Amino acid sequence: MRYALGGAGYGIVGFRDPHGIRPLVFGKRHAGGDAYDYMLASESVCLTGLGFTIVGDVQPGECVLITKIGQVFRRLCVPSPQRWSPCLFEYVYFARPDSIIDGVSVYRARYVYNWTTALCLSSIGS
């Protein structure tokens, strides 16, 4: 699971489940002067399409707090790293092909999955 919540007038809080099942990416955009806008989204294209620069993926078990005055705090909230288990359907069905999830191109992942499936099926048919 991934969540992004308004923090009761304090700011925005985003966190990702300890296994990294669903993606969450963090970005910022210059808003003039010393100010920046911040955004959390499930896909990189949501950020880039609105002119945000990708800061990075929120790691499994990590929490990001962005205050109303633009302070950013990131903290890993699980005592030990969990087994990373992303949802395969994010790459195959849910995400746009031009997205990047956890540093992996969705288009490239689909290409590799399809190629591997074709090789497996062709060996069965022989």
Other CB atoms within 10 A of residue 47 CB:
22
Query: How far is CA 120 from its chain centroid?
Result: 30
Beta bridge partners of 25: 41, 57
Domain 2-125: assigned CATH number: 3.60.20.10
Give the C-alpha separation, 98 to 101, whole Å.
10
Confidence class for position 1, pLDDT limits 50, 70, 90 = low
Instruction: Give domain limits for the chain.
Output: 2-125
Could you tell me the pTM of the whole model?
0.81
In the structure, what pLDDT confidence band is assigned to residue 119 with cuts at 50, 70 and 90?
confident
Q: pLDDT at residue 123 above 90?
A: no
